[in-house]
A and B are shown apart, each in its own frame.
Chain A
Amino acid sequence: MARISLKDVRKSYGTAHVIKGVDIEIEDGEFCVFVGPSGCGKSTLLRMIAGLEDITAGSLSIGGREVNDLPPAERGVAMVFQSYAIFPHMTVRENVAFGLTIAGASKAEKEAKVAEAARILQMEHLLDRRPSQLSGGQRQRVAIGRAIVRKPKVFLFDEPLSNLDAALRMDMRMEIGKLHQQLGATMIYVTHDQVEAMTLADKIVVLKDGQVMQIGSPMDLYHNPANLFVAGFLGAPSMNFLKVTVQGVNGPTALVANTALDRVEVPTGGRHFAVGDTALLGLRPQYLGVSEGPGRLHGQVALTERLGAETVVEVTLKDASPLIAALSYDAVLPLGAPVALDFDPTRAHLFPAP
Chain B
Amino acid sequence: MASKFTVSNRTGWLMAGPAILLIAGFVILPFFLAIGLSFSNQRLVSPNPTEFVGLSNYRQLLDLATLRLEPLRDEAGQVVMADGGPQYPAVRSLTRNNPDRPDLAGMREWFSFSTGGESRTVVLARDVVFMKAIVNTFIFVIVVAPVQAGLALCLALLINQRLRGINIFRAIYFMPVVVSIVVVSLLWRLIYDGQSGLLNNLLDAISFGMIPPVNWLGNPSTALGAIMAMSIWQAVGFHMVIWLSGLQTISPTLYEAAAIEGASKWQVFRYVTWPGLRNTAVLVLIVITMQAFGLFAQIDVMTNGGPLDSTQTIVFQAIERGYGKQDISGGSAISVILFVIVLSISLTQRWLTREKP
A320, CB-defined interface residue at 8 Å:
no
The SS class assigned to the B binding surface is: helix
Out of A52, A87, A150, name the residue touching B271 (CB < 8 Å): A87
B33, CB-defined interface residue at 8 Å:
no
Contact in complex: B263, A102 (CB < 8 Å)? yes
The smallest C-beta distance from B268 to any residue of chain A, in angstroms, reads: 9
Contact in complex: B276, A79 (CB < 8 Å)? no
Q: Which of B53-61, B251-259, B297-305 contacts A (4 or more CB under 8 A)?
A: B251-259
Residues of B within 8 A of A86 (CB): 257
Give 23 A-B contacts (CB < 8 Å), ordered by A residue. A50-B256, A50-B260, A72-B256, A72-B259, A73-B259, A79-B257, A79-B260, A83-B251, A85-B253, A85-B254, A85-B257, A86-B257, A87-B257, A87-B275, A89-B278, A90-B275, A98-B258, A98-B261, A98-B271, A102-B258, A102-B262, A102-B263, A102-B271
Contact in complex: A81, B257 (CB < 8 Å)? yes
Residues of B within 8 A of A51 (CB): 259-260
A79 CA to B256 CA, complexed, in Å: 9
B contact residues vs A (CB 8 Å cutoff): 251, 253-254, 256-264, 267, 271-272, 275-276, 278
A contact residues vs B (CB 8 Å cutoff): 50-52, 71-74, 77-79, 81, 83, 85-90, 98-99, 101-103, 146, 150
Contact in complex: B254, A52 (CB < 8 Å)? no
Residues of B within 8 A of A150 (CB): 261
4 additional contacts (CB under 8 A) given A52-B259, A72-B259, A77-B260? A52-B256, A85-B254, A89-B278, A102-B271
Residues of B within 8 A of A79 (CB): 256-257, 260
The smallest C-beta distance from B146 to any residue of chain A, in angstroms, reads: 22
The smallest C-beta distance from A99 to any residue of chain B, in angstroms, reads: 4
Nearest residue in B to A156 (C-beta to C-beta)? B260
Contact in complex: A87, B260 (CB < 8 Å)? no
B256, B257, B263: which has the most chain A beta carbons within 10 Å? B257
Given contacts A52-B256, A81-B256, A102-B267, contact A87 B272 (CB under 8 A): yes
A83 CA to B271 CA, complexed, in Å: 18
Residues of A within 8 A of B262 (CB): 72-74, 99, 102-103
Nearest residue in B to A100 (C-beta to C-beta)? B261
Residues of A within 8 A of B264 (CB): 102
Contact in complex: B253, A71 (CB < 8 Å)? no
The smallest C-beta distance from A103 to any residue of chain B, in angstroms, reads: 7
Residues of B within 8 A of A103 (CB): 262
A98 CA to B254 CA, complexed, in Å: 12
The smallest C-beta distance from A157 to any residue of chain B, in angstroms, reads: 13
A51, A85, A88, A103: which has the most chain B beta carbons within 10 Å? A85
The 10 closest A-B pairs by CB, nearest first: A73-B262, A89-B275, A85-B257, A85-B253, A99-B261, A72-B260, A102-B263, A72-B259, A79-B260, A81-B253
Nearest residue in A to B264 (C-beta to C-beta)? A102
Nearest residue in A to B278 (C-beta to C-beta)? A89
Residues of A within 8 A of B256 (CB): 50, 52, 72, 79, 81, 85
Residues of A within 8 A of B259 (CB): 51-52, 71-73
A112 CA to B357 CA, complexed, in Å: 26
The smallest C-beta distance from B295 to any residue of chain A, in angstroms, reads: 34
